[in-house]
């Protein structure tokens, strides 16, 4: 092992993550693949998370702190500038890597030199670390459409059809030379910074998919993506990413992209508006409706939202949670494109 140039640099952005941080670090220490460095970059936390990191005496664990708050994109970029590895594994402060995660990802990247980044399906865990099997497996349909290696055109279609396909930064390994070519995370994003980078990488390189769940991602209300106050920002950033995808995909798909956007995204944004209204936030609900109307109108998204309501209610009744598969394209047409671009 070369301590100066390890094979994998693991980037862990830290912000008030003391509660789950020890589990995240221990999951790295338990890896069957040992040629790594863990770079923990703190973003002006007010808890004792960084003190916890300093207690580890493993020389492979490196820590640093931002001089001022950079948010997650800036913090990841700060850690990236310190990375020496050939590959970059991302890890959120509340998630866990399974023991063979790094070895499996490195094997994938070594077999396929044209892959810019690869990802896997996750397990979903609760605040106590227990797996939520039904909720986690709600995404299986989208992953079964993913080949081990996808060319640019198919990868971009997948990223439009399902949104941020990897689901979480912890499920992703990046070839460092590739991210150096397309640029780091865009710090103007607060929510969709990962989706934006996956799109840029997919436009330039192939995308790999590891068939096997290598990561446990934790779902809790303390996460930025779960914060209801961030919904407006998430919607605006989603439309930014969709605009990039629409420009990257063939012009012949324009009509399907427009309808797919209304079906997959605008309908969900209407649902968020309804939730805000039911919670008594009338002004917020109206603002969300205005954003949707300016991009997609309201009539067609409302029709798609209404048609999906029985399925959403059924999931609740059956106790399967609110996570469900939503896709932009008609399944039969999408399967034809998968065959076409393989």
In a domain? residue 306 = yes
Per-residue pLDDT of the chain (342 residues; tens, 9 = 90+): 556 789 999 999 999 999 999 999 999 999 999 999 999 999 999 999 999 999 999 999 999 999 999 999 999 999 999 999 999 999 999 999 999 999 999 999 999 999 999 999 999 899 999 988 665 555 677 787 789 999 999 999 999 999 999 989 999 999 999 999 999 999 999 999 999 999 999 999 999 999 899 999 998 655 555 566 789 999 999 999 999 999 999 999 999 999 999 999 999 999 999 999 999 999 999 999 999 999 999 999 999 999 988 877 887 777 665 556 689 999 899 999 999 998
Distance CA 119, CA 280 (A): 39
161 and 36 co-located in one domain: yes
In a domain? residue 1 = no
Segments forming the whole domain that contains residue 313: 250-341
Q: Among 204, 222, 240, where does a domain finish?
A: 222
| Torsion of Cα atoms, 300 then 305 then 311 then 316, to 10° | 180
In a domain? residue 148 = yes
SS3 34: coil
In a domain? residue 198 = yes
21 and 169 co-located in one domain: yes
Give the domain CATH number at 204: 3.90.550.10
Q: How many separate domains does the chain show?
A: 2
In a domain? residue 244 = no
119 and 181 co-located in one domain: yes
203 and 85 co-located in one domain: yes
319 and 205 co-located in one domain: no
Distance CA 274, CA 284 (A): 10
Count CB-CB contacts under 10 A for residue 208.
25
Contact 139, 145 (CB under 8 A): no
Whole-structure pTM value = 0.93
Distance CA 82, CA 193 (A): 20
């Amino acid at each position: 092992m070369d301590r100066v140039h390890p094979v994998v640099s693991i980037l862990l952005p830290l912000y008030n993550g003391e509660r789950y941080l020890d589990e995240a670090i221990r999951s790295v220490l338990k890896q069957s693949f040992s040629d790594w460095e863990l770079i923990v970059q703190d973003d002006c936390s007010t808890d004792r998370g960084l003190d916890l990191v300093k207690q580890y005496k493993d020389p492979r664990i490196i820590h640093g702190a931002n001089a001022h708050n950079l948010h997650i994109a800036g913090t990841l970029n700060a850690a990236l500038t310190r990375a020496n590895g050939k590959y970059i594994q991302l890890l959120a402060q509340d998630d866990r890597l399974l023991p063979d995660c790094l070895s499996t990802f490195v094997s994938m990247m070594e077999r396929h030199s044209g892959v810019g980044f690869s990802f896997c399906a996750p397990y979903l865990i609760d605040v106590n670390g227990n797996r939520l099997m039904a909720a986690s497996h709600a995404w299986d349909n989208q992953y079964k459409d993913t080949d081990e290696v996808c060319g640019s055109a198919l990868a971009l279609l997948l990223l439009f059809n399902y949104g941020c396909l990897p689901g979480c930064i912890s499920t992703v390994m990046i070839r460092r030379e590739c991210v150096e070519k397309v640029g780091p995370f865009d710090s103007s994003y607060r929510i969709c910074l990962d989706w934006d980078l996956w799109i840029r990488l997919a436009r330039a390189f192939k995308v790999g998919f590891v068939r096997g769940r290598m990561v446990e991602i934790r779902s809790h209300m303390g996460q930025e993506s779960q914060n209801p106050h961030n919904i407006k920002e998430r919607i605006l950033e989603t439309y930014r990413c969709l605009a990039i995808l629409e420009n990257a995909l063939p012009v012949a798909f324009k009509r399907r992209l427009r309808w797919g956007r209304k079906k997959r995204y605008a309908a969900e944004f209407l649902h968020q508006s309804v939730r805000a209204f039911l919670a008594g936030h009338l002004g917020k609900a109206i603002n969300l409706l205005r954003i949707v109307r300016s991009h997609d109108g309201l009539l067609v998204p409302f029709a798609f939202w209404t048609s999906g309501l029985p399925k959403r209610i059924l999931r609740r009744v059956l106790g399967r949670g609110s996570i469900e598969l939503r896709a932009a394209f008609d399944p039969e047409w999408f399967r034809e494109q998968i065959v076409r671009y393989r």
